[in-house]
């Protein structure tokens, strides 16, 4: 048995050494985070890399990249990340393509873990997860990034997903499903939609929560609400209707998340009833306690990673997140009823 295990480990090492990766990074106008992203990639334990940078609406040089690294710089004209990723993939010379967002810093072992995981489990691809120590410690950014980390941790090993921030896929599989849908002209759910098509075509892509990366994005409340309504919930609702498909993954759509969303949807009715009819307030307290208890494990994580005094504000932001999702779902549902709108 020991001999079998040794052979298996050796085969994994050989596969890791022989596989070369084309990294594709879309970069929006004047994005300074790309320098941090590149420095992290250059520290990777996997050295057989080709880096393809797609500049969306601007140009610059990258003289800091060593000559030993194959570097390709492409330019697009404000086409959005879906187009830029496809453009980069077209130029990729290796059989594995890893899409990385420019505001992400990968851990030095992220690519190695990904290759080993794909080999060990015979996968066609894998996606990673933000770590629990985001660069920005501002409350909105901290909440947003830790929520993302929490969802990925809770759904480790789930299938039917793809993620543009860090997603490695076999080039053959990517080509056969025709890549990203370029009708998404802005960062939205283009990676979710690709994950659905890969799943429908029988390809196996797994969320691996131990593949870690650091997120550098600074969120504002306004940006968070706009994103959740118009770039997430609304197009996702329209996507499901157009494809006539149910949700193929529990990521962000587990029974607990659905139950919490239903509770939040009933919240305004409860508050109006308390104010206008019964003139009693204890049902509102019950509502708040239910909301907190349903998301208790997330708040435990928050309490470990930040000042507990921020918890009330985090709960309010979390509630806003669910309200935004419900508003986006409602707008998307109305669009489905009265038009043939495509995302």
* Ordered per-residue pLDDT tens for the chain, 343 residues: 445 445 444 444 444 445 799 999 999 987 889 999 999 999 999 999 999 999 999 888 888 888 888 999 999 999 999 999 999 999 999 999 999 999 999 999 999 999 999 999 999 999 999 999 999 999 999 999 999 999 999 999 999 899 999 999 999 999 999 999 999 999 999 999 999 999 999 999 999 999 999 999 999 999 999 999 999 999 998 888 887 665 556 677 778 888 899 889 887 777 777 766 667 777 778 888 999 999 999 999 999 999 888 999 999 999 999 999 999 999 999 988 877 555 5
* Six token digits for residue 16: 């890791």
Please tell me the distance from the alpha carbon of residue 109 to that of residue 47, in angstroms, as a whole number: 11
- Spatial distance between the Cα atoms of 9 and 148, rounded to a whole number of angstroms: 32
Classified by CATH at the fold level, domain 2-136+156-218 comes out as: Spore Coat Polysaccharide Biosynthesis Protein SpsA; Chain A (3.90.550)
Contact 218, 118 (CB under 8 A): no
Task: Please say whether the beta carbons of 182 and 79 come within 8 A.
Answer: yes
Burial environment of residue 54 by CB neighbours within 10 A (0 to 12, 13 to 18, 19 or more): buried
Burial class from Cβ neighbours inside 10 Å (0-12, 13-18, 19+) for residue 52 reads buried
d(CA 211, CA 97): 16
Evaluate if pTM is beyond 0.75.
yes
Please tell me the distance from the alpha carbon of residue 65 to that of residue 41, in angstroms, as a whole number: 10
If phi over 0 gives left and psi between -120 and 50 gives alpha, with beta otherwise, what is residue 58?
Answer: beta
CA distance 54 to 56: 6
CATH 3.90.550.10 positions along the chain are: 2-136+156-218
């Amino acid at each position: 048995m020991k001999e079998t295990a040794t052979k298996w480990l050796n085969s994994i090492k050989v596969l890791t050494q022989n596989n070369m990766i084309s990294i594709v990074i879309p970069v929006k106008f004047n994005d300074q985070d790309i320098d941090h992203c590149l420095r992290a990639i250059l520290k990777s334990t996997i050295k057989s890399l080709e880096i393809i940078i797609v500049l969306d609406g601007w140009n610059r040089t990258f003289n800091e990249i060593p000559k030993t690294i194959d570097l390709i710089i492409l330019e697009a004209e404000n086409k959005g990340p879906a187009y830029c990723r496809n453009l980069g993939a077209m130029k990729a010379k290796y059989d594995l393509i890893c899409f990385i967002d420019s505001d992400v810093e990968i851990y030095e072992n992220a690519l190695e873990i990904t290759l080993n995981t794909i080999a060990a489990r015979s996968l066609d691809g894998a996606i990673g997860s933000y770590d629990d120590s985001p660069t920005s410690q501002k409350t909105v950014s901290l909440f947003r990034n830790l929520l993302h980390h929490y969802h990925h941790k809770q759904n480790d090993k789930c299938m039917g997903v793809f993620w543009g921030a860090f997603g490695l896929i076999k080039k053959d599989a990517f080509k056969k499903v025709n890549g990203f849908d370029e009708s998404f002209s802005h960062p939205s759910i283009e990676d979710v939609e690709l994950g659905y098509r890969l799943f429908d075509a029988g390809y196996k892509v797994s969320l691996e929560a131990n593949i870690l990366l650091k997120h550098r994005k600074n969120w504002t409340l306004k940006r968070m609400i706009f994103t959740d309504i118009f770039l997430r919930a609304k197009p996702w609702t329209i996507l499901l209707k157009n494809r006539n498909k149910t949700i193929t993954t529990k990521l962000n759509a587990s029974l607990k998340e659905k139950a919490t969303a239903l509770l939040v949807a009933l919240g305004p009715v409860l508050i109006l009833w308390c104010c206008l009819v019964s003139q009693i307030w204890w049902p509102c307290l019950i509502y708040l306690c239910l909301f907190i208890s349903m998301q208790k494990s997330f708040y435990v994580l928050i309490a470990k990673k930040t000042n507990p005094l921020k918890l009330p504000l985090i709960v309010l932001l979390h509630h806003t997140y669910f309200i935004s999702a419900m508003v986006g779902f409602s707008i998307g549902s109305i669009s489905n009823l009265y038009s043939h709108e495509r995302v």
